[in-house]
Structure 1
Amino acid sequence: MPEIASAGRDGFIDLPKELEDDLIEIGSTLPAWSAEGAFLAGSTVEWCRAKLNSAPRFVEIRERLLSLLSGAAGGYAVVRLRNIAQVLGVGDRFLRLTTALLAEVAIPFQPFQRWPLWKEIGTNLDANPGLSTGTGYNAFHMDLVNATQPPDYTTLLCVRPDPLGAGASILSDARAAVSRLTPSSRALLADKAYSYGSFFDLSDVGEEYKPFPVLDGEPADLGFVRFTAKMLSQSGLDEAHAHAARELADQMVAGQVSCTLQRGDVLVVNQHRVVHGREPLGDGQRDIAPEDRRLLLQLFLRGAGTTGQLAS
């Protein structure tokens, strides 16, 4: 495995004690959310927004989060809610509060019809090690790469870190990686030559996109670098297009950073700019009780103007 730089502290958001106290109180009063189809209901968003804005220090944290997620910054942020999780636990009260916070970025939604708003990503020792639920290296990717309208943001909430201290999240600026490629490689990546994954039981992510280009030619705030390392194993990919994708993968690895999420940490990734993955979990997972193994929860966010659901 390549050497990985630790994510700079500029990407982390630590809350002031005063705000933590306010959010603990707010988290104890938020009602169960309601949904409109796959999306968090607008009425729930507005109610939560009013509660959050009653906290004097909240606006500055919201502005910092939005700034970090913008294209001009790193494109990701880790919001540390560890102290709040210590008080509220990581059950319904904590999830309602976290959902309310993320609704300040964009509208929470769940494109997978068979899952609740927060989708579990546990540790399955029998799964393919490279999958999100596996124990091995989960290579760089964006979520729902084969949808015409992927989620604008993907978020990961750490309920339990790997007890063995491994499984760091890895991140890379996909657009910076593209900028380091030759013009000929970029031209190949703009071809509709790539495919990966199945497409079923999904909503509000458009249609299946197959084959798709890695580079769609759209502005950075609208388009995506449609990349998943797993597409390299797809049959039918000619050597020229495979080579260009491998070059991009190498550049992503060269620019990657890592962060090991702890209980209560929330990683937010702007999919228009950043790809993510995971380092292997620690050896000896079979010696850990299933209820103690690494557990994340995933939530997707949709920005303004893509599906008619507006984040004001």
Structure 2
Amino acid sequence: MFIDIPTALEDALIGLPLPTWKLDGSFLAQSTMERYRSELAATPQLEETATTLRHALTEEGGGYAVLRLGNLAKALSADDDRFLRLATAFAAEVAIPFSPFPRWPLWKDIGVKVDKDPGKSSGIGYNAFHMDLVNGSLPPDYTTLLCVRPDPLGGGPSILSDPHAAVARLSENSRALLAEPAYHYGTFFDLNGVGEECKPFPVLDGSDPGGFVRFTAKMLKRSELSRAHAEAARELAEELVRGQVSFMLQPGDYLIVNQRRLLHGREALHSGQQAVPVADRRLLLQLFLRAGASSGPAA
């Protein structure tokens, strides 16, 4: 779902006096959320746009949306504080913005590092299907990516896939293996708002039909799994690729993904990144969201 911002709303947002945000621990402060919502509520066609956004993220068959904020990005500059406040305000219409990483600001830069592991988010290779913070007992309900600059060489389209549909296409034996707490991936330290470490964890919890499919294809290469459990995970990874959708994010596009509905990833960037100046390389900003008032700082 790609959502264009009505012209009247764009015009009103350009001059909107949103204050600098405040945090309550790792979460956007309630006072900031209330101020942002109050300011947005006074703009034309905001409620219709916000309702469309929420429906795209939560209704049957949905799970993601791309807000086309490109004109606002041009008017305000995509990495300007005023533009980031607007993007944060839109995010707050969906859920509670927060940062699980105390060492990072609310919005985390995801640039391109040619000497990084190619499969990482800031690498130049294929970033396989995954959910963010997969090994936390309370992963973010939403992961979001704001495009400041796409790959100037034309690579790196975003990919999404429905893990529940992919699981339904697997054999009963594979689903049984994925339901066993036999999987693990990554480290877990210096994190806020994502619960306790799950190690090991099941890919399929089974307790909540609308719950997370705790999956990252990266564990196939970076975790020691039994042959049977690895094969079941590999089959799921193949089904995810079979059911994927892909698209290119343009400057100002704001991708919001419901992690209970979809997994995300990225195709490889175009070859030749070493020749692209750092200041011109692909740049995304990442923000996480927690659904529900009960999931704020007290959680």
Q: Flag structure 2 segments of 5+ consecutive residues without an equivalent.
A: none
| 1: CA distance, partners of 2:297 / 2:11 | 31
| 1: CA distance, partners of 2:132 / 2:219 | 13
1:70 paired with 2:58, answer yes
**Post-superposition CA distance 1:206-229 (Å, at most 9, x none):** 0110000000113244x2100001
**Post-superposition CA distance 1:59-96 (Å, at most 9, x none):** 11111111110151320111000001110112100000
Q: What amino acid sits opposite 1:21 in the alignment?
A: D
| 1: CA distance, partners of 2:32 / 2:3 | 25
Cross-structure match for 1:101: 90
**Residues 1-312 of structure 1: pairs in structure 2 closer than 5 A:** 11-26=1-16, 29-90=17-78, 91-221=80-210, 223-304=211-292, 307-308=295-296
8 A contact 1:122–1:133 mirrored in 2: yes
CA positional deviation for 1:306: 5.4
8 A contact 1:195–1:234 mirrored in 2: no
Relative distance call for 1:302 and 1:256 in structure 2 (3 A) is: same
| Misfit runs of 4+, over 6 Å | none
CA RMSD of aligned residues (A): 1.3
**Post-superposition CA distance 1:187-238 (Å, at most 9, x none):** 11100000000011101100110000000113244x2100001111245411
SS in 2 for 1:140: strand
Identity score, percent: 62
| 2: CA distance, partners of 1:35 / 1:112 | 13
Cross-structure match for 1:7: none
8 A contact 1:121–1:298 mirrored in 2: yes
CA positional deviation for 1:184: 1.4
Relative distance call for 1:216 and 1:77 in structure 2 (3 A) is: same
| 2: CA distance, partners of 1:246 / 1:185 | 10
Relative distance call for 1:296 and 1:216 in structure 2 (3 A) is: same
CA positional deviation for 1:309: 5.3
CA positional deviation for 1:283: 1.1
8 A contact 2:24–2:297 mirrored in 1: no
Q: Flag structure 1 segments of 5+ consecutive residues without an equivalent.
A: 1-10
8 A contact 2:96–2:296 mirrored in 1: no
> TM-score scaled by structure 2?
0.97
8 A contact 1:127–1:134 mirrored in 2: yes
